[in-house]
Amino acid sequence: MAAEILDGRALAADLREDVAARAKRLRGRGIAPCLTVAIIGEDAGSLGYVRSIERAGASTGVDVRVSALPATAGEETLRALLRTLGDDPLVHGIILQQPLPSHLAIRRLAEAMPPHKDVDGTNPINLGRLAFASGTEFVPATPMACLLLLGRSKRWPLRGARACVVGRSNVVGLPVALLLTARDATVTIVHRGTRDLAHQTRDAEVLVTAAGVPGLIRAEHVAPGATVIDVGTTFVGGKLVGDVAYDEVAAVAGEITPVPGGVGPVTNVALMQNVVLAAERASG
């Protein structure tokens, strides 16, 4: 039996209505919710992502500005930019687009991200807050999108579910694992160092994969009937592909997110939701 598709575009359309209504209310009070994306250099993937953020902004009523710095910009320049944006009352949310050029270390810059405008959860303070389950200021957009899609799945609520997260990055894998744990799932994190990946993933009722390795997850990695959330996005020959070998996995899984059209569109709306939230907070 073929898996049911967890349709990210449909979910994004539903979420967009609420976000757009809140943005409109803010505008009615003279406040234009505004996201600034700081981008350093010209990474092709990043530029594509920025365009999709601009589209999501246009469709929700959030202004998206881009602060572009040359690939040679130093750490101090970037810190100064983050300070300036932090102090600017017209800017409500800030993203520091990754990957950074190799001479810049995200670990050193992340702390300079103003926490109250950190809509993608870059500052370690916000990652730490996720560990508290409640009291989170901003749930980063991609992990949030995974949870929102699971909210539409037959696994919801996740209490007691066996979940496996492929990848342990600070941007996706780790925060997803924290969010699933907070929802009372039993979570295993696997990564590059894991021996016998399939042995671990095959045990999962919920499989979230964020490795950025096209085709990593094959049918043999997936339990019959499992819910599969594919966060991986890699450009291969100009085409966006996920971590999941879609056709063969869709034949065994119970539910699956496509790439494109799964996590991506929901992520963009989740991001705008955070910007609107930041603007609401800033304006009391």
Q: CB of 135 within 8 A of CB of 129?
A: yes
Query: C-alpha dihedral over 75, 77, 79, 84, to 10 degrees?
Result: -170
Of positions 148, 171, 204, 252, contacts ligand ADP by CB under 6 A: 171
Strand arrangement, sheet containing 63-69: 63-69, 34-40, 93-96
Which is it for the CA torsion 138, 139, 144, 147, positive or negative? negative
Q: Is 217 in the site for ligand ADP (CB under 6 A)?
A: no
Give the per-residue contact string, 104-133, with ligand ADP (x = CB under 6 A; - = no).
------------------------------
Total chain residues near ligand ADP (CB under 6 A): 17
- Closest residue to ligand ADP using C-beta atoms: 169
- We find the least distance from the C-beta atom of residue 76 to ligand ADP, in angstroms, to be 25
Q: Is 216 in the site for ligand ADP (CB under 6 A)?
A: yes
Structure letter (DSSP) for residue 70: -
Contact region with ligand ADP (CB under 6 A), list: 20-28, 124-132, 170-178, 262-270: 170-178
How far apart CA 199 and CA 130 sit, in angstroms, is 28
- We find the least distance from the C-beta atom of residue 128 to ligand ADP, in angstroms, to be 18
Q: Is 172 in the site for ligand ADP (CB under 6 A)?
A: yes
Q: Is 62 in the site for ligand ADP (CB under 6 A)?
A: no
Contact region with ligand ADP (CB under 6 A), list: 58-66, 82-90, 147-155, 185-193: 185-193
Partners of 149 in the beta sheet? none
Nearest one of 45, 62, 44, 52 to 9, comparing CA atoms: 52
Give the residue with the Cβ less far from ligand ADP, 37 or 277: 37
How far apart CA 170 and CA 264 sit, in angstroms, is 18
Give the residue with the Cβ less far from ligand ADP, 263 or 279: 263
Q: Is 173 in the site for ligand ADP (CB under 6 A)?
A: yes
Which is it for the CA torsion 272, 278, 283, 284, positive or negative? positive
Residues in contact with ligand ADP by CB under 6 A are 166-169, 171-173, 190-192, 194, 197, 210-213, 216
